Amino acid sequence: MLRIFTIAIAVLAVVIAVLSVAIVSARVVRTARARRQSALAAAPRKQLLAFVADNGEEGADDLVAIGEDAWRAAEPAAVALLGKVRGEAHRALVDVFTRRGVGLRARRALRDRSPVRRARAAQTLGDLELREAVGDLCDLLADRHAEVRIVAVRALGRIGEPGAAWRLLASLDRSDPTPALLVTDALVQLGPDVEVTLSAALDHPQARVRAVCLDALGLLGATGTAGRVARVLRDDPELDVRIAAAATLGKLGTPAGIAPLAEALRPGRPAALRAAAAKALGELGAKSAVADLEAQLGDPAYRVAHEAAHALRRLGPAGRAALERRVAAADPAEGGHAREALAMLAIGTADPAPVLAGVGP
């Protein structure tokens, strides 16, 4: 028995020794490879930095002529640099990358089995702002890995091709949808050409899609869609979508939003909707809504009364007078929201009231 135990210990010692040698050897190899890659990348990196500092006016041919091994070693840093520069320097870098075939390699890598490589390729194509890759990136919005889909959304936003809008919206209509905020951000980056698409998608059967369209229209300042947004505020079957519509009307800043928001503020509407409408009226600088907002100061729903008070705070002298009337007339326990708003005015934290054409007392 002792002999067997001794043999087992000896075998275990040999295994440990072999594993230790293998680990050390692997580390040595990795260190040597990293040093070699760093040495290869040093000169191209300097050339790239000098090229960018010169706004790409000189040195493009030298970068294209760099040996393949050295370029591959420097490419990760070069791609990172591509995502940080704008203007002439960015366009010049894109030209160098195109001549070196980086875009073609990235498009091929979108079909790689590794989700990490697919995501990295999508990011590269976004940084290159390669419009030819929009279709391939749209296909990636159905990738089984959420991380890959997220990178594809960001890449499409960076490229800014309006034709991608429908595919971006479709990525929300899944059992595991892309995060709504990321899609909204990408849609806004596509610019005002997507306003028609977003307006049409307000009829989409998925409430999440409609809400994202509303947020994007507000951020784009699509004032021409105010009437369409007002209909959503009035008719949409989903409360969250109606709340988003109220917020959008506040962002659009047009007089056309005042009447539908005042209607949404009336008693009998859900408290969350009335709170959103009150806030939007304040953002609009709707002095004509002072009476409607004043009527909400004693509302039993905390959020409604709070938003009404702070909307009045933004409406200049007329709003201030309404708050003072409430404080003077109300029981001390009921005028808290008005007093809070007046206190903020007294310390100079009032938001400047927007000035709208056609909106006044």
Tell me the H-state helices in 60-133: 60-64, 68-82, 87-99, 102-109, 115-128
* Same domain membership, residue 294 and residue 253: no
Reported as a pLDDT band with limits 50, 70 and 90, residue 34 is: low
CATH number at residue 236: 1.25.10.10
Query: What is the DSSP secondary structure assignment for residue 330, as one 8-state letter?
Result: S
Q: What is the pLDDT of residues 324-359, one digit of tens each?
A: 888 887 666 567 888 888 888 888 754 544 434 334
* Same domain membership, residue 258 and residue 293: no
* Same domain membership, residue 342 and residue 299: yes
The mean-pLDDT minimum among 139-153, 197-211, 329-343 falls in: 329-343
Residue 214 lies in a domain: yes
pLDDT at 245: 97
What pTM was computed for the model?
A: 0.80
Q: Which domain holds residue 198?
A: 164-264
Domain tally, the chain: 2
Reported as a pLDDT band with limits 50, 70 and 90, residue 32 is: low
Token reading at 109:
């890598």
Tell me the H-state helices in 193-289: 195-200, 207-220, 226-235, 239-252, 258-264, 271-284
Can you tell me the mean pLDDT for 179-203?
Answer: 96
Q: What is the pLDDT of residues 102-125, one digit of tens each?
A: 889 999 999 999 999 999 999 999
Residue 342 lies in a domain: yes
Contacts of 265 (CB under 8 A, 6+ apart): 274, 277, 278, 281, 289, 292, 293, 296
* Same domain membership, residue 218 and residue 175: yes
